[in-house]
Structure 1
């Protein structure tokens, strides 16, 4: 896993340097899915990963990057003709 993460990190940094946002986001998505799979398979991994992020990653990130890491849990119920719009960040709604 460590070797794989290092490889993906290098690819991501290369994409970021080259201004290739699509590749950067694809790499982030693929790693996010893999980490979710590992956390589902092994709850101890999930705990260890959260601790790693909190204790080792967050302290070295620039302030602007720190705010991007966290968890958001939302729950909503709409009844009748009601609508629910939820977002963890920006949301743009266009209706006629």
Structure 2
């Protein structure tokens, strides 16, 4: 999930957040590789942007596969990287990150007899009379 969220966000306003998070991940485990990984992330960003301009889904898939492998190797070497990766995914996929509407809520209920149902996706105030 982290690789997918990252690759999808490379050409968006989330780019700086992704770059910062990836840099922190590598600085933690392989500080000597941080600058190289950040340069490669920048190249991945360019590849994704170019692939999107050409409407070439294969190039984005190749970048995704590459980063899935990198993140898997990082997690294998440092299980503690899971928490910052989860946080990055939440940051990139949450409603606030996209500026879009909040997730929809689906509620189902069935009443029978004299049953009553009250449902709300937010605050609910019921006054019995």
In the alignment, which residue of structure 1 is the partner of 2:83? 47
Distance 2:51 2:40 in 1: 17
- Please give the per-residue CA displacement for 1:30-62, whole angstroms capped at 9, x wherever unaligned: 11111111111111222111111212x124237
In the alignment, which residue of structure 2 is the partner of 1:83? none
Q: Does 1:60 align with 2:97?
A: yes
- TM-score, with normalisation over the residues of structure 1? 0.55
- TM-score, with normalisation over the residues of structure 2? 0.42
Distance 1:24 1:40 in 2: 24
In the alignment, which residue of structure 1 is the partner of 2:69? 33
Structure (1 or 2) with the larger CA radius of gyration: 2
Q: Please list every run of 5 or more consecutive structure 1 residues that lacks an aligned counterpart in the other structure.
A: 64-96
Give the structure with the larger helix fraction: 2
In the alignment, which residue of structure 2 is the partner of 1:19? 55
Residues 2, 49 of structure 1: alpha-carbon distance in 2 compared, 3 angstrom cutoff? farther
The aligned length equals 63
Residues 36, 22 of structure 1: alpha-carbon distance in 2 compared, 3 angstrom cutoff? same
Greater relative contact order (CA < 8 Å, ≥ 6 in sequence): 2
Q: Please list every run of 5 or more consecutive structure 2 residues that lacks an aligned counterpart in the other structure.
A: 1-36, 101-129
In the alignment, which residue of structure 1 is the partner of 2:39? 3
